[in-house]
Amino acid sequence: MPTILPTIPKKNTSSFQYSSRVDRFDSSWREPLAALLGLGRAAGADFIEFFIERVNYISCLAEDDSITSISPRLSGGAGVRVFRGVADCYVSTNDLSFSGLKLALEKGLSIMGLELPGASALVPDINLEPLRDYATQGGKEAWLSNCSGMREMGEILLEANANTNRKASHVQSRRASYFRDWQEVLVASSDGTFARDIRLTQTVACSLLCADGDHRSSINLRLGDTSDPNFLRSWDSSSSADELAESAGIMLYADYIESGTYPIVMANRFGGVIFHEACGHLLETTQIEQKTTPFIDKKGEKIAHESLTAWDEGLSENAFGTIDMDDEGMPAQRTLLIENGILKNFLADRTGSLRTGHPRTGSGRRQSYAFPAASRMRNTYIAPGDYSIEDLFASIDKGIYCKKMGGGSVGPTGEFNFGVDEAYLIENGKVTKPLKGATLIGEAKEIMNKISMCSEDVGLAAGFCGSVSGSVYVTVGQPHIKVDSIVVGGR
């Protein structure tokens, strides 16, 4: 993080006249933001942060053989966060002029019981660091212009639906969707932070509904990427169609599962959604502040089986939750959450660190300028273990193989239930007949101690995470894992 530099000469507030480029966040923003930060400090605030954003977003939906929706969105705005002690407030605006930002600051100060200094007051600028420009350093300026245009989006999605129709049987409906979210951000704060980045996040999703009489099956697939303008062009929609058609065909005539308590094997990739939901959220400092995590005072203690190690990081190449800096300007890094069952770290943003004492981890994230940052996950996954996949299956006489996870819900302290889109019976160490209608039911602090075996094949999957700072892009993941016992709901 930047070192706080000496202040530069004080200025009279009556002379404040600034303008900055609104089509690009560059060094021209340094002087006006430094002046505004100085105003906030002179008013008595302990810390002030500006988050400024531009967004260029588009989504496209193909249903069966038609494009049914194209939704573009251009937006921009700023948020200012004002701290006084451990209390803070947040004000947002879509007026990026100097006067608009000053008005937002004034409102934030007033909420905290503070006032801007008078016109004759002498106010020091905050000496911001030289612009830390991840966009220029990473060659990101041309990303937007190199992405697929609307016509190309539509053609690729229609071809994907056509591939699915050719390869699947008893097709009722096909959907393929894509979105591209381009974002330019600038962060300036009174500790000297001054940083810029461009993010490019893209995802493509397919779904297939098949029906034959009373038999039904529904299968979904999603792929996500950051940083590759050619992501949609390079997508192998034929391979995705093969995967959808195979799963839907198998599950169409599958038997319904019998409710009970079973040992299970969970597949890699999106299987990691249960760790994300049932445990990952409980390791965010927002949960400590609200006293809604059972792990609040467990750092350094055993909270999981000794076979389990888990990470959260923002560094994996092209992963859906990868960021060069968080939304508070802190560079991305790796955070060891659990090591051999021992809780090592929590995920902390600036506010969480201030109020809980846990160190910041580059995890301050937000959906947009309309939200203050909060501690959020990035790429979160269980680390590889020492077992083969065959070892996991061989250890089970009768159990369930959860190959594809579906949606679910999690309570505030870790109680969860998750549907399984594709499941199979395990008998005498072998995967046998397909099963449908399975729901996994459990509690975080219990299931973490029942993950007794992890294979070597870590896989990652794209996802979306909603919390107090809106919806953000995340990666979930794990190798194949064995859970010794879990309640499985069915018929």
Q: Give 17's pLDDT tier (boundaries 50, 70, 90).
A: low
For residue range 415-448, list pLDDT tens digits in order.
Answer: 889 999 999 999 999 999 999 999 999 988 889 9
Report the pLDDT value the prediction gives residue 332, as an integer from 0 to 100: 95
pLDDT > 70: percent of the chain? 96
Evaluate whether 318 touches 143 at the Cβ level (below 8 Å).
no
**Mean pLDDT in residue range 294-306:** 96
**Mean pLDDT in residue range 70-94:** 97
Choose between 7 and 178: higher pLDDT: 178
Is pLDDT above 50 for 460? yes
- Which pTM was predicted? 0.93
Report the pLDDT value the prediction gives residue 8, as an integer from 0 to 100: 39
Q: Give 192's pLDDT tier (boundaries 50, 70, 90).
A: very high
Q: Give 408's pLDDT tier (boundaries 50, 70, 90).
A: confident
pLDDT > 90: percent of the chain? 89
Report the pLDDT value the prediction gives residue 12, as an integer from 0 to 100: 53
Is pLDDT above 80 for 186? yes
Report the pLDDT value the prediction gives residue 277, as an integer from 0 to 100: 87
Report the pLDDT value the prediction gives residue 11, as an integer from 0 to 100: 55
Report the pLDDT value the prediction gives residue 3, as an integer from 0 to 100: 41
Angle of helix 98-111 versus helix 30-42 axis, rounded to 10: 20
For residue range 315-357, list pLDDT tens digits in order.
Answer: 999 999 999 999 999 999 999 999 999 999 999 999 999 999 9
CA–CA gap between residue 210 and residue 421 (Å, rounded): 13
For residue range 99-137, list pLDDT tens digits in order.
Answer: 999 999 999 999 999 999 987 777 877 999 999 999 999
Evaluate whether 454 touches 483 at the Cβ level (below 8 Å).
no
Is pLDDT above 50 for 22? yes
CA–CA gap between residue 468 and residue 289 (Å, rounded): 12
